[in-house]
Amino acid sequence: MKIGITMGDPSGIGPEITLKALNELKNIPAIIIGSKSIINEAKKRFNIPWTGKVVNCMYLKKEDISYGKPSELTGKAAYTSILKGYELIKNKEIDALVTAPICKSSMNLAGFKFPGHTELLAKLSHTKRFAMMLCGNTLRVVLVTTHVPLKKVSNLLTKEQIIEKIELTNDFLSVRLGIQSPKIGVCALNPHGGEGIFGDEETKIINPAVEEANKNGINAEGPYPSDTLFSQKFDAIIAMYHDQGMIPIKLKEFGHAVNITLGLPFVRTSPDHGTAFDIAGKGIADPSSMIQAIKLAKKLTNG
């Protein structure tokens, strides 16, 4: 069993947390995918004595990197490492893919217009049904819509899309985690679940999706107002939009949660945070979430 870890945006904390995590998890076979020169520079800069293998897919000099600043070059480097990571897992040279954080501004500067890893890896693997899950010790959240403006969420919600996320979640919980008859909570979109006056998405879209999931044998409940739902006991919760799900899990699980892409034909995990440009290059980044991402990748591949 071997895990491949993409270095992420080299101007962020990706190389640092990856090296720190691997230096701690010495018993887990893993390789880093990215720029060997940048990884070697990070080892020296942060005094991390990791001696594992780096799959070099782009040469960069330390002068090419400005910590904490997005750039076209670092966006290209991050994108190239993702492509190489996908190639390795497609060719079965690695068994799971862990991705360090990328900067979407840098990716856009380099001409790669993807909202994030989730959508890019889905396109590369020709995956039509996929979902973004944040998995913590006590809370798991799946998003129906991800990186979109809040004003567009209502128009993007469909019954079919919600059913798809419920089904993907149920499959992951039952097949991957071995939970029998998982219990899934579904968020309402509007305050107080709409109450008939704050919006009709609950009655027209979300409730019919929950009812159909129930008919298909899935134990889903809702829609419930999100201000009370997250205090209840569920194996996973379906959130309608990004911050509805991310705020509760990051308040409760930050540093311990892991981002998982459901529906892919391979295991992909990632830390629950971004590039942290404000502390990049300072040697103070906490690798806890990267450690959890690597451990979960190992668990999900039965390693």
For residue 303, the model assigns a pLDDT of 52
DSSP letter for each residue of 129-168: S-EEEEE-SS-EEEESS-SS-GGGHHHH--HHHHHHHHHH
DSSP 204: I
For residue 111, the model assigns a pLDDT of 87
Q: For domain 1-126+265-303, give the CATH number.
A: 3.40.718.10
- Please enumerate in sequence order all residues whose Cβ is within 8 A of that of 76, keeping only pairs 6 or more positions apart, or say none: 58, 110
301: tokens are 């591949």
| Per-domain residue ranges of the chain | 1-126+265-303, 128-263
Mean pLDDT of the chain: 93
For residue 15, the model assigns a pLDDT of 96
Q: Do 98 and 82 contact (CB within 8 A), yes or no? A: no
What torsion, rounded to 10 degrees, do the Cα atoms 287, 6, 142, 170 define?
Answer: -110
92: tokens are 């079965």
Q: Do 1-126+265-303 and 128-263 agree at the fold level?
A: yes
Q: At what angle do helices 72-90 and 117-124 cross, to 10 degrees?
A: 50
Percent of the chain with pLDDT over 70: 100
For residue range 115-148, what is the model confidence (pLDDT) as tens digits?
A: 788 889 999 999 999 999 999 988 999 999 998 9
Q: Which CATH superfamily is domain 128-263 in?
A: Isopropylmalate Dehydrogenase (3.40.718.10)
180: tokens are 């029998």
- DSSP H/E element including 5: strand 3-6
Percent of the chain with pLDDT over 90: 83
> What residue type is 217 in one-letter code?
G
Instruction: Compute mean pLDDT per 10 residues along the chain, 303 residues long, and list them.
Output: 93 96 94 95 94 91 87 93 96 97 90 85 95 93 94 95 98 94 96 80 95 97 94 96 94 89 96 94 95 95 73
For residue 285, the model assigns a pLDDT of 96
